[in-house]
Structure formats: C-alpha cells, structure tokens
C-alpha cells in the first residue's frame, strides 16, 4: 500500500502542507498587484499571508511583526513609489509598515524576493504623497537595490508581475524540506502486513490533536520497521519538515538529538554557541513545532530513560527508582512541553515502554485499541506471516508456514531469522523448525539485542528471576496461577534454589509491582481483563536458552501441576490441563518417574489420564502425549503406554497402528507374565483392545479369539477379586458379544451381554465400586444386547433394552453433563428397530435426536463421533425413503458419504461395510428417481463391491448385505417390480457358494427369512418375473436347520 492509498482511505481530511509566504506591499497603489500575487501562490499550493488579515494585538509592532513573519517560510516584497502608512517611530527613524516588514524578514534571515514597480507601471492610485515621504521611499528603494540587487526584479504591468511570480513558484518548492534521517535503520528484506497500523499512524498524524504518538512493543516485534516504512513510504504531505533520529546513550544522546533537529529545522541557521543550555534548546525546538507543522520521529526512546542508563549499575533488587523517568537531562522537559502542542506538528516515539512523563499527558498509542494501556504492537496477522516467509524464499504450504509461525507468535524478527536460516541452510524447508530450536544463538544481531535488553532490566535481579520462571511455563499463566506457584516454591521441600527474595514470592504487593514494571517495559503483556501474563516469544526463548536451572524449574512445575487435584466430574481438556502440563514439564525435565505418574496414575475415581482422554473423545491428544515418551520408556511401563496408545488408535479407526502397538505390548507382557493383579489386568486389557481393533477391522473371528484369551487370563485363580477386575471381565464380555453378533452368532451375543449385565449390576448394587461411569457401561451392554435381539427378531425385548439404555444415559447426562456418544447411539439403534417394524414416523424422530446429539459432539471436537454421525445420517436416509421423502433421503445419504470419505480407516474395516450399506440405499434411491438406467442388478458396480467385501472379510458380511438389499428391494418394488425380481435372483446367486459349504449364521437366517416373506407376499408376480420362490424357501429351511 502506498501513500496515496493510505491517505485515500482516510478521506479528504488530510491536506498537504502549504508553505506560508508573507506578501508585503502598500495597499493604495499596489493592492490589485498584491491580490494577483496571492492568487498565483494559492494556485501553486502556497499559503499567502498579508498584514491586512492580522488581528489587533496590544504588543509592540516590532514584536508582533517578528512573530508573524517568523512563522512564514519566505517573504515577497512588492515595492512601489508610495511610502504608505507608518507607525509611531517612538524616537527612532520613520519607517513605513512595508519597510518594517522587509527589515524584520532580513533580521530573521528569511528568504526574501523583491519586485520593484518601474516608473511606467500603472498604479491603482497615483495621488502624490508629501515630498518628505517620497524622499524616504526613494532612499529605501535605493538601499534595497544596493543590498539585494541580485534578488530585485522589475515589473511594469500586471502581466509582467504575473510572469515573474509564475517563474518564482517552482523555486519556492525548496521551502518544503525533504525528509531527513541522521541514521537510517538497518534495511529489512521485506515488509509484510501492518496495514492497519500504517493507517493508524497516518490518522494519528493528520487527524489527532495530540502531538505525541507512541509505538509500543517488546524488542524485535517490528516497531522500527513499521515506523520507517511509514516515514519513508507512507508519510502524508501534511508536514513542512520530517526528521528521523535514533536514540542512543552515546552516539545519539538527547543533547545531540536537539542539535541535529534544530540544525535541520532552522535550515543550517542554528548556532549552538548562542544557546548552550538544554532548556533553551528544548524551548527553541518546541517553538519550531509550534510555528509550522513538523514531524519528528525518535526511534528507541527507552534508551534515554533511567532504567537503560542504570543497567550496568549494581542496585539492590528492589531499589526504589522510576526506571521510566528521564535518564538524560532535558528528556522529561521535552516530553512535557510537546504533550501540550495541539494540531499541526507531531512527534512519533518508538519505545518498549511508555515514559512516565506521558502517563497522564495526552498522547496517541499505536496500535489503537479500546484501552490505551493494553496497546502494544503484536505479531503479524496470518496472511502477512505467510507472505513474509514466502518472500524470504521458504518452500512450504501456507498451512505448514502458519503452523511454524505460530510457534513464534508470528513475531516478524523471529520469522525473518527463521526464514533466512531455512533458505540458507535447508533449501527453504521448515522441517528443522517444527521442534524447539534456538534461533537466537544463530543470529549475532539478535543475540546482542536481547543481551542489551537483559542488562537494561529494571530491578534486574527480581526481573531476571521472574522472567526465568515465566519462560519455562508451557501454558500462558494467569497472575493467580503464577503467584500460587511462587508461594508453593517457598513451602515445597528442596526448592530453596528457585526462590529469590521471599517477599517477592509471598507478598502480593511486591509481586504485582515487579510484574507491572515488566509489563511497562513490554517484556511481558499483562492482560488486565483476563489476568494472563503473556511473554514475548523472543524474551521467552532468550531466557530458556541462557537459564542454568531449566531442569530444576521444569521438575518443580511438573510436581506442582501433578499435585493439583482433578475434579471427579472433569469433562473438558481445561479440566485436566494440570495433568497434561505436569506430563509435558516432566518430559522437559527428563524425569521419567514423574512422566509415568502423569500418564498412569489415577486422577480421580481410578481413571488415568489416557482413560479419561479416550472417554471424552480426545484421542489425538492422548496419542501425541504417549508418542513423545514410548520410545524412551523402559519396560514394563513401555508396554502400558503401548496398550493405551493402541486403544486410542483403535478409537480413531487407525487400526493398523492400533494392532501393531497392542501386539508389541502383548508379546512382552505374555513373555514376562507377572503375578500382580494389575499386570494381569493390563495383559487382559491388551488382548481386549486388540480384539476390538480386529472387530473394527471386520475380522470378528480373530476378535473373538483375542477376547477369549483375555477372559482366560482373568479366570486364573486369584487370592481375591477386585471390583476393577470384575468390571474388566464385564467389558470383555460386552466386546465379545458385539463380535459374536458381527459373526451372526446372535444367541452367543445375547448370552455374553446378559452375563456382562449381571456382573455390572452386581457391582452397582455393592456400592463399593470405584470405577466411574457404571451406568454408561450398563447402557452399552443394553445397546449391544438390543442389537442382537433386534437382529434375531425379538423386537419387544430389544426395544425394552434400548429404552432402558436411553433412560440410564439421560439420567447420567442430567447429573454429570455427560458428553457420551452412547445416548445418540441408543436413539439411532431404536430408530432402526422402529423402521424394521414399520413405525417410520417414530423412527424418524429417534434418528433426528441421534443426528442432533452427534452433530453437537462433533462440533465440540469429539473425534470419535464423526463416523457415528455418518452412520446416523445413513440410517435416517433409509427411513426417509420409506416415508417417500426422497429429497431428504438423498441429502442424508450424501452427508453420510462425505463423513465416511473424511475418515482414514482401512479398506477392510467396518467403515467399509457402513459405506457399502449407505451406497446401497443411494443406489435404490437413484433407481426410484430414474437417475440410473435400468439394468441387471447382478452386473452393477454395487454387487461387485459387496462381492469384493465378501472376499476380503469373510462370509459374515452376507447378513448385512442381505439386510440392506432387501430393504432396497421392498422400496423399489412398487416402482419397478422387474428390477426387484432381478435383484433377488442376483442375491441368491451371490449366496450360493457360501451356503453350499455349510456356512451358518443366525443373523443371515433371519434376513433371508424376511426376504422370503416379502417374496411370498407377491409370489405370483415375482414368480412370473423369474424369482425361484421354492428355492429361496429351501435355502431358509436348510439354514434354520444348521443354526439349530
């Protein structure tokens, strides 16, 4: 964005500076000529000033004239033969007003341009004056010609004078002083973002009455870069002069700044010998700012303040001194004076801290925020951070760039250094910067900047101590959290080395004062609304790099976090943040014992962190935590971590890594079988979780084998049975029941579920079970048993199971605000049952509830609910087809397809089955809507997909295949009976090979039984269309006999 764009966005309120030109002449004879000069000056964008417009003033004329002409940039004198009016000479020689104006301009060393009227020039009024006046004027003209011969021009007519002024106007351009910088800042490779701040600077410099503009921010955030970009490329034309000067304690002191600024603004007519005092020169500079609109930019204002000047002195930690007061003579006087200037001139200060003189003085702050105290320059926005890295030559996707940039709070200096390193050393790749790496140590300029900052810390001992502790925090702590940790350090045994002054740790007033100083100096940002203590990324990295006690601080933080109680009803990641942070700090401290404690020890109600993460749908968080320690952990804890990670992988449908983790854990645990109850339970849990992974991989036979092994381990004689042992047995039975149901063994599935129910109800009745969520476990068993009963056409019993499950889960949700996915699952399963029994309106109501609840869970970040939501949409689609809501059915089926495609499960998994079932419903829907041509169903892609699933997974998929296709056949039949007949024939043909081998399945038997009922109901017509009704009946009878 260029200057024109910036100004354009601010409207027409910004006016370019017009140099003031004093025009002197007598009025009676040269009045029209003076008007002509003024007109040409206005056309040339200059501001003419004439004595006639002066207000009355009681001061002496010489004083008043000097003040008015001093404010002008140049003087044009029109001299004719007329002496004109004159003031009382008061004992001196008689001088006319125009002569006095010329004398004053010469005294002030202004640029003077003289135009003499020739004898033949026609005057406005040629009435003769007194002889004495005529002689005085003639002497004055001769004196001017003698002294200023080189600048005198003659004119004989208005046209002649106009031509002279037109030629003069371009020469007056030198009155607009160019920008001047005593020392340019270091060049930056690319300027990105900050468009809002650039506009705010322009607005403050052109629309605000406040003279002082402060750009606040921590070191390296880009204050200088922003100010220079604005000064060099976006500066509005509202100023007659613009001057840039850096601050420094040696080369560019405040005294030197005054000399440079006055030398520039006075156009080389400044003589320090005439005004050696600081106060005098400050007043001269302020007067220049009052006389005309000027801009001064002082970069790094903090270097003229007391804390910076005293940084090498050894002061007591709590020495009472205002570090934001002046550190060099005259600074506070200058700030107090310029704060009183309104309109016109402006002074821009870049600083890490607001000088105390401006605490109550009017000033503007950049960036502009609702509360000035909170205003300080932050990191770049997302788009600018990506643009900066791309311009530097980084090769990565925008998402990758943004991920790494956020690690450094999108801090421009950090990103610049990182980008240069990536391009120079790694071909533009950012892979090396995904983990902690010290950027500071790789850049000498940055190292010097931060060491200089550390030396200038106010109350240095206290400040270094607090910053060292804050830098180790992984979270952004609130004041209350940080102060609690400091108090804990005092009372915790063995932590004396992490305590500075006890008063700082124990006194709220002392700590608040110390943190307020750090906030003033932009080393931290203390958000008064949230009470959070933000640390600048470069400051944080600097203190992490130089700290000699990093391991001790991280160990202390780990112990402190792990000592915090976790509420029994914890439901969000924030509720268990102390346990997660304790683990991360233990990892940093290389303390394996604390790390294992954080992961494995119960938080509340016997629930470990990983178990909680699994229950509340934060599997990815758990996987990340475990992956950071598995490789470094020794046995047996390594196997415990593998079991936990495998279970989390399994929840997310990442079945290959799940089985790999669980198999590795089983191999070690089975080979090193311990006698302790807990270890046997871990082994049984590993087999159970691998069984679940196999079940979700559509391999229920192997799942049953693993679950049988889990039960065998737990059936070995123990001296006593703990409640957790009994609950684990119930969990294994529940999961084996689900696997048996997938195999089509409905009776076995019902028996397993019933036995699991008995165990859990006994635990609940005992009242001594420490395990949480017993009602949810019971509800899960009820849902599983309801599924087996519904598949076995025990509709009433199944409906009773579903309704009881819903009742328990609703009560649980009302008492704990539970986010369990079981409640919507129970509604979805009951919806299927109601649809199977022809109660389609009631079915739609249940499916609506399921979709709503699951959508809420997915929107809350529940990773384990996305596939269930797809299943709920697919189930509702089938009900809507039955209700003839074909548009709604299509929308739901498409939604299910999108959700299934977003998942990353294996092809050979239950997700593939659910996807095939959804595609079957879509296939029927599209046939009803005539979106696909009528053809032999047996030759369709859908049948080929089911056949491929049968080959990959085994014959147990046939039951679901028959169920889904029978539903479609029923719906399509009234629209296209021949198509239904062909589908039945194709289905029987596909089943022949498996049925011929003696395969038996209760579930398949019941699905074929329903198909037979449908065919028998329209036996005549379907028989005419080629459906072998008797053959189908024989298949059903044969299958019934095998099942029995």
358 and 339 Cβ atoms separated by less than 8 Å = yes
981 and 914 together in one domain:
no
Report pLDDT for 769: 53
Own/partner contacts of 846-851, CB < 8 Å, gap of 24 or more, are 847/872, 847/875, 847/876, 847/879, 848/876, 849/824, 850/824, 850/825, 850/875, 850/876, 851/824, 851/876
Backbone angles phi, psi at 708, to 5 degrees: -65, -40
112 and 207 together in one domain:
no
93 is written with which tokens?
């020689």
Report pLDDT for 8: 40
65 and 95 Cβ atoms separated by less than 8 Å = no
650 and 627 Cβ atoms separated by less than 8 Å = no
Which of 183-187, 585-589, 857-861, 906-910 is least confident?
906-910
Task: List the beta strands (DSSP E) in 124-265.
Answer: 152-155, 179-181, 212-216, 241-246
SS3 content of the chain, % helix, strand, coil (to 5): 65, 5, 30
35 and 138 together in one domain:
yes
How far, CA to CA in Å, does 101 sit from each of 31, 75, 86, 113, 161?
A: 16, 9, 11, 12, 20
Which of 292, 295, 297, 289 has its CA nearest to residue 348? 297
* Domain C-terminal end among 175, 202, 235: 175
1027 and 1015 Cβ atoms separated by less than 8 Å = yes
129 and 203 together in one domain:
no
352 and 412 together in one domain:
no
Instruction: Answer whether the bond into residue 830 is a cis peptide, omega within 30°.
Output: no
Can you name the residues that pair with 246 across neighbouring β-strands?
299
Whether 268 maps to a domain, the answer reads yes
Backbone angles phi, psi at 181, to 5 degrees: -130, 125
Report pLDDT for 108: 82
Domain containing residue 295: CATH number: 3.40.50.300
435 is written with which tokens?
């983990």
- As a whole number, the mean pLDDT across the chain is 83
* pLDDT tens readout for residues 194-248: 888 888 888 888 877 889 999 988 777 788 888 888 988 888 877 888 899 888 7
With a cut of 90, say whether residue 388 has pLDDT above it.
no
With a cut of 90, say whether residue 581 has pLDDT above it.
yes
* pLDDT tens readout for residues 1017-1043: 888 888 888 888 888 888 888 888 887
Report pLDDT for 536: 75
264 and 138 together in one domain:
no
* pLDDT tens readout for residues 831-885: 999 999 999 999 999 999 999 999 998 888 777 788 888 889 988 988 998 898 9
Report pLDDT for 943: 81
Which of 671, 602, 608, 613 has its CA nearest to residue 639? 671
Which of 197, 221, 199 has its CA nearest to residue 525? 221
Report pLDDT for 701: 92
* Total residue count of the chain as it appears in this document: 1044
- DSSP alpha helix (H) spans, 230-277: 254-265
Report pLDDT for 718: 46
Torsion angle of C-alpha atoms 75, 76, 77, 80, degrees rounded to 10: -170
* pLDDT tens readout for residues 734-761: 999 999 999 999 999 999 999 999 999 9
196 and 70 Cβ atoms separated by less than 8 Å = no
Distance CA 867, CA 699 (A): 19
Torsion angle of C-alpha atoms 633, 635, 640, 644, degrees rounded to 10: 40
* pLDDT tens readout for residues 42-88: 888 888 988 775 655 555 666 778 878 887 888 999 999 999 988 88
Distance CA 44, CA 172 (A): 9
With a cut of 60, say whether residue 815 has pLDDT above it.
no
682 and 639 Cβ atoms separated by less than 8 Å = yes
Whether 605 maps to a domain, the answer reads no
* pLDDT tens readout for residues 724-735: 778 889 999 999
Report pLDDT for 453: 66
With a cut of 90, say whether residue 109 has pLDDT above it.
no
* Domain C-terminal end among 923, 949, 973: 923
982 and 938 Cβ atoms separated by less than 8 Å = yes
Largest pairwise CA distance in the chain = 148
Whether 764 maps to a domain, the answer reads no
Q: Which residue has the higher pLDDT, 144 or 413?
A: 144
Distance CA 947, CA 310 (A): 83
Whether 782 maps to a domain, the answer reads no
Number of structural domains, the chain? 5
Q: Which residue has the higher pLDDT, 190 or 1042?
A: 1042
Domain containing residue 38: CATH number: 3.40.50.10140
Whether 267 maps to a domain, the answer reads yes
295 is written with which tokens?
């801009």
234 and 116 together in one domain:
no
400 and 427 together in one domain:
yes
380 is written with which tokens?
């770049």
Whether 532 maps to a domain, the answer reads no
Whether 543 maps to a domain, the answer reads no
Query: What is the DSSP-derived secondary structure letter of residue 945?
Result: H
Whether 595 maps to a domain, the answer reads no
Average pLDDT on 437-448 reads: 59
Q: Measured between alpha carbons, how far apart are the two ends of the chain, in Å?
A: 83
Report pLDDT for 426: 73
With a cut of 90, say whether residue 902 has pLDDT above it.
no
Report pLDDT for 267: 76
Report pLDDT for 410: 79
Average pLDDT on 164-191 reads: 74
Query: Would you tell me how many other CB atoms lie within 10 Å of the CB of residue 402?
Result: 16
Report pLDDT for 689: 92
Segments forming the whole domain that contains residue 1006: 933-1044
Report pLDDT for 12: 38
220 and 116 together in one domain:
no
676 is written with which tokens?
């302790």
With a cut of 70, say whether residue 263 has pLDDT above it.
yes
197 and 136 together in one domain:
no
Which of 412-421, 443-452, 787-796 is least confident?
443-452
How far, CA to CA in Å, does 359 sit from each of 286, 335, 364, 419?
A: 20, 11, 11, 38
With a cut of 90, say whether residue 22 has pLDDT above it.
yes
256 and 211 together in one domain:
yes
* pLDDT tens readout for residues 586-634: 999 999 889 888 888 888 666 788 888 888 778 888 999 999 888 888 8
352 and 401 together in one domain:
no
Own/partner contacts of 197-201, CB < 8 Å, gap of 24 or more, are 197/226, 197/366, 197/367, 197/377, 198/1, 198/6, 198/226, 198/229, 198/230, 198/234, 199/6, 199/9, 199/10, 200/366, 200/367, 200/368, 201/226, 201/227, 201/230, 201/234, 201/348, 201/366
Which of 953, 965, 960, 959 has its CA nearest to residue 927? 965
Report pLDDT for 780: 93
* Domain C-terminal end among 115, 140, 175: 175
With a cut of 70, say whether residue 933 has pLDDT above it.
no
Predicted model pTM: 0.64
């Amino acid at each position: 964005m260029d200057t024109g764009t910036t100004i354009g966005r601010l409207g027409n309120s910004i006016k370019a500076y017009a140099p003031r030109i004093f025009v002197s002449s007598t009025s009676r004879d040269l009045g029209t000529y003076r008007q002509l000069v003024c007109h040409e000056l206005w056309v040339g964008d200059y501001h003419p000033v004439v004595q006639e417009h002066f207000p009355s003033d009681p001061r002496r004329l010489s004083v008043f004239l000097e003040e008015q002409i001093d404010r002008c940039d140049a003087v044009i004198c029109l001299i004719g033969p007329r002496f004109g009016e004159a003031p009382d000479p008061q004992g001196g020689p008689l001088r006319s007003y125009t002569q006095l104006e010329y004398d004053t301009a010469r005294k002030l060393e202004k640029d003077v341009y003289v135009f003499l009227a020739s004898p033949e020039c026609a005057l406005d009024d040629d009435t003769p004056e007194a002889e004495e006046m005529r002689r005085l004027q003639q002497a004055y003209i001769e004196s001017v010609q003698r002294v200023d011969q080189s600048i005198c021009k003659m004119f004989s007519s208005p046209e002649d004078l106009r031509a002279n002024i037109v030629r003069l106007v371009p020469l007056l351009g030198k009155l607009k002083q160019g920008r001047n910088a005593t020392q340019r800042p270091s060049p930056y490779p690319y300027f990105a973002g900050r468009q809002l701040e650039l506009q705010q600077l322009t607005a403050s410099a052109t629309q605000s009455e406040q003279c002082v503009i402060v750009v606040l921010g921590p070191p390296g955030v880009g204050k200088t870069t922003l100010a220079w970009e604005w000064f060099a490329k976006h500066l509005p034309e509202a100023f007659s002069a613009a001057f840039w000067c850096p601050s420094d304690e040696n080369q560019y002191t405040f005294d030197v700044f005054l000399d440079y600024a006055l030398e520039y603004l006075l156009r080389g007519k400044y003589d320090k010998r005439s005004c050696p005092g600081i106060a005098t020169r400050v007043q001269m500079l302020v007067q220049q700012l009052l006389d005309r609109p000027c801009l001064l930019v002082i970069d790094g204002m903090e270097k003229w303040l007391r804390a910076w000047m005293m940084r090498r002195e050894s002061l007591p930690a709590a020495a009472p001194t205002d570090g934001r007061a002046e550190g060099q003579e005259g600074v506070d006087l200058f700030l107090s004076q310029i704060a009183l200037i309104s309109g016109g001139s402006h002074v821009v200060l870049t600083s890490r801290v607001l000088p105390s003189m401006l605490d109550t003085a009017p000033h503007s702050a950049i960036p502009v925020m609702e509360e000035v105290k909170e205003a300080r320059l932050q990191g770049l926005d997302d788009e600018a951070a990506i643009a900066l890295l791309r311009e530097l030559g980084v090769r990565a996707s925008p998402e990758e760039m943004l991920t790494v940039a956020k690690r450094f709070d999108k801090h421009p200096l950090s990103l610049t250094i990182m980008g240069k390193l990536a391009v120079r050393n790694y071909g533009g790749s950012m892979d090396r910067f995904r983990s902690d790496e010290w950027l500071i140590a790789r850049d000498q300029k940055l190292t010097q900047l931060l060491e200089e900052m550390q030396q200038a810390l106010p109350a240095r001992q206290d400040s270094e101590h607090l910053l060292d502790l804050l830098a180790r925090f992984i979270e952004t702590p609130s004041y209350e959290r940080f102060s609690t940790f400091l108090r804990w350090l005092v009372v915790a045994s063995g932590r004396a080395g992490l305590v500075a002054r006890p008063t700082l740790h124990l006194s709220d007033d002392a700590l608040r004062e110390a943190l307020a100083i750090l906030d003033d100096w932009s080393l931290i940002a203390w958000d008064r609304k949230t009470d959070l203590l933000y640390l600048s990324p470069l400051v944080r990295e600097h203190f992490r790099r130089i700290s000699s006690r990093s391991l001790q601080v991280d160990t202390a933080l780990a112990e402190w976090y792990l000592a915090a109680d976790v509420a029994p009803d914890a439901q969000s990641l924030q509720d268990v943040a102390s346990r997660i942070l304790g683990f991360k700090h233990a990892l940093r401290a290389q303390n394996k014992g604390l790390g294992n404690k954080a992961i494995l020890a119960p938080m509340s109600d016997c629930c470990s962190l990983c178990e909680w993460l699994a229950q509340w749908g934060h599997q990815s968080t758990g996987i990340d935590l475990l992956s950071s320690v598995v490789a470094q952990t020794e046995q047996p804890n390594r196997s415990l971590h593998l079991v936990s990670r495998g279970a989390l992988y399994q929840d997310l449908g990442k079945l290959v890594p799940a089985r790999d983790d669980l198999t590795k854990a089983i191999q070690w645990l089975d080979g090193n079988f311990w006698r302790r109850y807990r270890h046997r339970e871990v082994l049984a849990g590993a087999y159970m979780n691998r069984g679940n992974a196999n079940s979700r991989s559509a391999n229920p036979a192997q799942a049953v084998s693993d679950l049988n092994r889990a039960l065998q381990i737990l059936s070995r004689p123990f001296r006593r049975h703990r409640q957790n042992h009994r609950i684990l047995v119930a969990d294994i039975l529940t999961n084996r029941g689900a696997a048996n149901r997938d195999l089509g063994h409905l009776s076995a599935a019902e028996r397993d579920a019933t036995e699991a129910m008995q165990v859990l109800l006994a635990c609940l009745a005992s009242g001594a079970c420490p395990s949480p969520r017993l009602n949810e476990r019971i509800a899960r068993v009820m849902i599983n048993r309801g599924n087996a009963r519904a598949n076995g056409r025990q509709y009433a019993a199944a409906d009773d199971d579903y309704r009881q499950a819903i009742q328990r889960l609703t009560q649980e949700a009302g008492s704990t605000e539970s986010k369990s996915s079981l409640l919507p699952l129970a509604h979805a399963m009951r919806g299927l049952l109601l649809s199977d029994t022809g109660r389609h309106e009631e079915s739609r109501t249940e499916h609506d509830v399921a979709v709503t609840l699951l959508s809420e869970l997915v929107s809350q970040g529940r990773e384990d609910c996305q596939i269930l939501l797809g299943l709920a949409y697919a189930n509702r689609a089938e009900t809507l087809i039955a209700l003839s809501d074909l548009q709604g059915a299509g929308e739901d089926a498409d939604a299910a397809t999108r959700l299934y495609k977003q998942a990353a499960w294996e092809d050979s998994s239950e997700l593939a089955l659910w996807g095939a079932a959804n595609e079957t419903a879509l296939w029927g829907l599209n046939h009803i809507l005539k979106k696909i041509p009528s053809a032999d169903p047996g030759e369709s892609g859908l049948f080929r997909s089911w056949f491929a699933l049968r080959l990959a997974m085994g014959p147990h998929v046939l039951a679901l295949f028959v169920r889904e296709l029978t539903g479609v056949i029923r719906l399509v039949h009234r629209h296209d009976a021949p198509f239904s007949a062909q589908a039945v024939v194709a289905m029987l043909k596909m089943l022949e090979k498996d049925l011929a081998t003696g395969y038996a399945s209760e579930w398949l038997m019941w699905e074929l039984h329903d198909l037979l009922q449908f065919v028998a109901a329209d036996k005549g017509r379907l028989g005419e269309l080629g459906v072998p009704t008797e053959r189908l009946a024989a298949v059903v009878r044969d299958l019934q006999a095998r099942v029995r």
